[in-house]
Copies of this chain bind each other. A is one copy, B any other.
Amino acid sequence: MGKSNTKSKFKDFLLTQGLKSTNQRELILEEFLRAGSHLSTEDLYLRLRMKNPRIGYATVHRTLKLFAECGIAEQRHFGDGQARYEASAQDEHHDHLICISCGKIVEFEDSRIEELQMEVAGEHGFSIERHRLELYGYCSSCSTSI
């Protein structure tokens, strides 16, 4: 999904929900799209503060929740106790490789794994709505430098 497309999707969402379009929400969405994925609320807040001190943490927090409701962002947890947000892929799901040395996060997708997940779930009588797969280890830079 292109950036302008995402912006109009958000505007539509605000309209249909009877919410208002504000300068802060626009700034936060722009910075969110510019900044790349896997930012914590704090990360995004600090980036915004540098450019525009008139934005509060609470607003960033609430706006990220709106993004998630609207479907343009997803909340993630990688075990460090902080929520992170990433821009939603339009249709396909992906999982994560996380380097436990440098913190680098790589996305991947493997339909063979997804199929096996459905199979296993079916064996246990579950119908799956969503899943989480995270692989923790050392990226190439970190494993060679040991």
Number of interface residues of A (CB under 8 A): 32
Which B residues are in CB contact (< 8 Å) with A106? 124, 126
The B-contacting residues of A in range 124-138, CB under 8 angstroms, are: 124-138
A112 at the interface (CB under 8 A from B): yes
Which B residues are in CB contact (< 8 Å) with A2? none
Give A42 to B12 CA distance when docked, in angstroms. 43
Residues of A at under 8 Å CB distance from B? Answer: 77, 79, 97, 99-100, 106, 108, 110, 112-113, 116-117, 120-121, 124-140, 143
Give A127 to B97 CA distance when docked, in angstroms. 10
Beyond A110-B120, A112-B116, A128-B136, 19 additional pairs, beta carbon < 8 A: A77-B77, A97-B120, A113-B116, A113-B120, A116-B116, A121-B135, A125-B139, A125-B140, A125-B143, A126-B139, A126-B143, A127-B137, A128-B135, A129-B136, A129-B137, A132-B132, A132-B133, A133-B133, A133-B134
Shortest C-beta distance, A143 to chain B (Å), equals 5
